[in-house]
Amino acid sequence: MLKNILDNKESYQPGLSIDCVIFGFHDNQLKVLLIKTKYSDKWALPGGFVPVDEDIDEAAVTVLHGRTGLRGIFLRQFSTFGAAKRCSVDVSNTVLEFYGIPLDEGKWYASRFVTVGYYALVDFLQTVPQPEGNNDIVEWIDHNIVPELVLDHKEILDKALETLRMELNLMPVGYNLLPEKFTIPELQKLYETILGRKLDRRNFLRKITAIGILRKLDEKKSNVAHKAPNLYSFDKEKYEEVLKNGLTQGW
């Protein structure tokens, strides 16, 4: 793969790359999609180079699909990472050596790259990675137990999580992340998992109700040990209206 890129490096924007942080929610865990390549024991974010004939947002979709096989993911650009020494000479040389590429031929790859970060929060069960044409390992990993990452990918991941948490103050989450029918405690657990902290039960109920995106159903959750809680669903029309107009409250 790298040999093909170097042979066609004029097709890629020099010094510019993309890294994607894909979050998924499953079993009350916030997971992040990571890859492990053949030439490193460390995990990494799905990333790659920018084709010169693609807009940056279009290139992000291309990169994510090429590394994970995922399609139809709405990616948000959240930050740019351009530290002078973010690219490691040792890492670059290890990759070039793995592919048997002489250092003089790999100068383009070993040069400094500024990377643009994109993130998404997706439905874990509907987002199944299917890497195409390579032997990379692609796995969902709990964001609380992420192993050591290459280069500055931990910094990129942390910044993406910080951005996601700030986004909760601007828009609702939950649609496509929870079952069609859910309880308030289940919705609160989703928010707590993303925020990384506990929320007051009464305060959460008051705020989430005030947003006006929930529809209380004439049903209760079955097969529970204690008093059965009420079930709710999202009012899709109102949910999309709030997404468009934004929120005016914080968590």
CATH number of the domain where residue 142 is located: 3.90.79.10
Residue-number span of the structural domain to which 239 is assigned: 184-245
Q: For helices 153-167 and 184-195, give the axis angle rounded to 10 degrees.
A: 140
Q: Are 201 and 188 contacting, i.e. CB atoms less than 8 angstroms apart?
A: yes
Structure confidence by residue, pLDDT tens digits, 211-251: 999 999 999 887 766 778 899 999 999 999 999 888 877 78
pLDDT of 11? 94
- Provide the whole-model pTM: 0.90
Q: How many domains is the chain partitioned into structurally?
A: 2
Q: Are residue 94 and residue 212 in the same domain, yes or no? A: no
Q: Are residue 85 and residue 192 in the same domain, yes or no? A: no
Q: Which of 196, 193, 113 is nearest to 151 (CA)?
A: 113
Weakest mean pLDDT among 79-83, 134-138, 152-156, 170-174: 134-138
